[in-house]
Amino acid sequence: MINYHHRRINNTIFIALYLLLGFLFVTAACNPSKKPDDSKKFDVKLNKFERSIKKVDKTMRLMDDMDTKIAAVKKQRDAGKISDQEAQRRIDAINKTLGREVAHTTNKHPATDLPAWAKSLGLTLPQGLQLDKDFSQVTAENNPGEGFNSVTLVYHGPYLKAMQQASIIAGRARIPLAKEYKSAFEMKQKYGDEIIKGAVYMNFDLGAAQNPRYNIAITVDESGTLTISATDSKRMREQLQKNEIKRN
């Protein structure tokens, strides 16, 4: 049977789309600030805001479509109509097509390198892998439409090469392996069984009260896709709070 982690939308697409969608919500909320003495400027900003909301709606519809299609494949697999391998092949195809369409819709600032602030955190680029510009994007704190630093870089290549590079990058930046993956690796070393393919290195826990200011994740999925992501979570929360105040 396919491992539970294999059946979910892969780590690369989840993280990339999570950051891209979060960025789109922030920038959409930044736009509608009315100045009483300047109705023309307000109309321009309102039009931009409406276009941003339409992009959010389109993105949400695409993501809902992804979930629906993946659920249908799982239902066929669970009913024994298709094999585990065929189910995984179809799910991968859905992720690559609809996931890329979402990326095209939301990615305003494609990234090709790590910004200086990310390098200061100890992050480095992988060697021997191909950058995916559709899913790679960056935001900047000094950009009024964004207000926080974040970067996502996505690379493709041979699985073992991606795993090696992820380990090197995480080691240099001192990012630990996620607990469930650490346990799986330990069991593999002890018993020789590979429970989970890929790897996830993270310096934060989702939902935890205390996390580092910069949330960093380095992931590899079973296809050999490596993703590096870093976000100034403190400034992102502050920006969201400011946007909420503006709306009220």
Number of domains in the chain: 1
Q: Please report how many Cα atoms fall inside a 13 Å half-sphere around the Cα of residue 4, on the Cβ side.
A: 2
Query: Could you give the CA distance from residue 121 to residue 225 in angstroms, rounded to a whole number?
Result: 22
Return all residues near 129 (Cβ < 8 A) that are at least 6 apart. 155, 156, 157, 161, 162, 165, 226
Identify any residues that bridge with 165 across adjacent strands, giving them in sequence order. Answer: none
Q: Which is more confident, 36 or 111?
A: 111
Give the helix ranges, DSSP H, for the chain: 4-7, 11-30, 39-78, 84-106, 116-120, 159-173, 179-191, 233-247
Q: Do 134 and 153 contact (CB within 8 A), yes or no?
A: no
25-29, 48-52, 132-136, 229-233: which has the highest mean pLDDT? 229-233
Reduce the DSSP state of residue 155 to 3 states and report it. strand
Identify any residues that bridge with 110 across adjacent strands, giving them in sequence order. Answer: 137
Q: What is the mean pLDDT of the chain?
A: 77
Q: Do 166 and 226 contact (CB within 8 A), yes or no?
A: yes
Query: Could you give the CA distance from residue 31 to residue 47 in angstroms, rounded to a whole number?
Result: 9
Give the pLDDT band of residue 105 (cuts 50, 70, 90): low
Give this prediction's pTM. 0.64
Query: Could you give the CA distance from residue 46 to residue 35 in angstroms, rounded to a whole number?
Result: 11
What's the average model confidence in pLDDT over 88-112? 74
30-34, 113-117, 189-193, 195-199: which has the highest mean pLDDT? 113-117
Domain that holds residue 70: 4-247
In this predicted structure, the answer to whether residue 34 has a pLDDT above a threshold of 50 is no
Q: What is the pLDDT of residue 236?
A: 86
Instruction: Give per-residue pLDDT as tens, 184-240.
Output: 878 878 777 777 889 999 998 877 778 899 999 999 988 899 999 999 988 888 887
Q: Do 26 and 146 contact (CB within 8 A), yes or no?
A: yes
Cα 235 to chain centroid distance, Å, stands at 18
Give the pairing type, strands 150-156 and 225-232: antiparallel
What's the average model confidence in pLDDT over 56-64? 63
Query: Could you give the CA distance from residue 22 to residue 108 in angstroms, rounded to a whole number?
Result: 13
Q: Which is more confident, 30 or 73?
A: 73
